[in-house]
Amino acid sequence: MTRHILLSLFLATSMIGCGSPAPETSDPTEPAETESAVAESGAQNQTVNVYSARHYDVDDEVYASFTRETGIKVNLIEGDSAALLERLRREGEQSPADIFITVDAGRLYQAEQEGIFQPVESEILSQRIPANLRHPDGLWFGLTKRARLIVYAKDRVQPGEIDSYEDLAEAKWKGRVLIRSSSNIYNQSLMGSILAAHGEEAAEAWCRDLVANMARKPQGGDRDQVRAVAAGEGDVAVANSYYLAHMSSGSPEDQAAASKVGVVFPNQQDRGTHVNISGAGVIKGAPNRDNAIRFLEHLTGEAAQQLFAGGNKEYPSVAGYGSVPELEAFGEFKEDSLNASVFGSSNQQALMIMDRCGWR
């Protein structure tokens, strides 16, 4: 969907009496906020207003397909999760927002704690989205999945030498583990899944030993961990599946790095691999509630799921929808069935443990 500058008109017509919101200040580690509005004034029954922390071109294609199918136009405001949540707090009951989309269960939980979402009952959503990928009370629904992989140097680590997250804390990996900062929400959710599996005492012991095994101070993103393994800075690393999938079909340099690492889906012999999500929920007080639910149902339909999967190398939330050659090359795997709301809700406890263990 072509983005153009009608935001001032949209806000003026949808927020009469509440004043203009203050400018956003975005987290420099996230993409800059962009805004678009594609609805005409007064056409409230033919619009849905979306606040999204996803920043992928393929999402525009999904939104455009919704408009073509339903005639309902999408007003899109993009920003990082923290900025959008702050905006929703400021706007309060006067917010024009119908839908909030973000990445990671931890951020969905933050929105839940802010009281941003309202429960949704939809037979379509309940049938399509597995129980572990949606909130038990219908506050949010998973749209896509990312598996938290272990990658290893093919020339220095034998297949089968490491097969679980727990193995990362073993003494044999001292000075060999690469992983990004504890400030990263993906690692916080992984820590939350370890907490759920083993309890606080054992999870803290694992975390402390993991920190002792780090090859270097955490730095960079998931792609940087893969590149560092390929360069010999460490022998094993943790990275999300869609990052590695992008590298395997990306620049020549990234393809070369990806070719030097093997892939492990951790914990296949017990609970399964930790899987995180991007997800969305309907805003409390949404002015276009019915359109918002219809929008969510569209995002979980076959066409949208295939677009999400193919365009951003993510696993679809709905089984059987979407095929991504780069992901298929990694093989099939069993995923942890832990409900994403559990490791989302343990985010603060996970952060405290990571802090105590010196994971920076």
Which of left, alpha, beta for 160 (phi over 0: left; psi -120 to 50: alpha)?
left
pLDDT of residue 15: 36
For the segment 129-156, the average pLDDT, to the nearest whole number, is 97
DSSP codes, 300-355: TSHHHHHHHHHHHT-EESSTT----HHHHTT---PBP---HHHHHHTHHHHHHHHH
Tokens representing residue 290 in the block: 């019915």
Contact 198, 206 (CB under 8 A): yes
- pLDDT, tens digit (0-9, with 9 covering 90-100), for 94-128: 999 999 999 999 999 999 999 999 999 999 999 99
pLDDT of residue 203: 98
Tokens representing residue 55 in the block: 């920043």
pLDDT of residue 22: 34
pLDDT above 80 (res 45): no
In degrees, rounded to 5, the angle at the alpha carbon of residue 346 between the alpha carbons of residues 340 and 350 is 120
**Number of Cβ atoms within 10 Å of the Cβ of 218:** 18
Chain centroid to Cα 197, Å, comes to 21
- pLDDT, tens digit (0-9, with 9 covering 90-100), for 245-268: 999 999 999 999 999 999 999 999
Which residue's entry shows tokens 């083993």? 198
pLDDT of residue 344: 87
pLDDT of residue 323: 77
- pLDDT, tens digit (0-9, with 9 covering 90-100), for 327-342: 999 999 999 999 999 9
Domain 7-144+276-328 shares a fold with domain 147-274+333-356: yes
Contact 100, 280 (CB under 8 A): yes
- pLDDT, tens digit (0-9, with 9 covering 90-100), for 282-309: 999 999 999 999 999 999 999 999 999 9
pLDDT above 50 (res 14): no
To the nearest whole percent, how much of the chain has pLDDT over 90? Answer: 85
147-274+333-356 placed in CATH 3.40.50.970: no
pLDDT of residue 101: 98
pLDDT above 50 (res 132): yes
For the segment 200-220, the average pLDDT, to the nearest whole number, is 98
Fold entry, domain 7-144+276-328: D-Maltodextrin-Binding Protein; domain 2 (3.40.190)
Question: Model pTM?
Answer: 0.85
Contact 216, 194 (CB under 8 A): no
pLDDT of residue 182: 97
For the segment 55-67, the average pLDDT, to the nearest whole number, is 95
- pLDDT, tens digit (0-9, with 9 covering 90-100), for 159-206: 999 999 999 999 999 999 999 999 999 999 999 999 999 999 999 999
Residue ranges covered by each domain of the chain: 7-144+276-328, 147-274+333-356
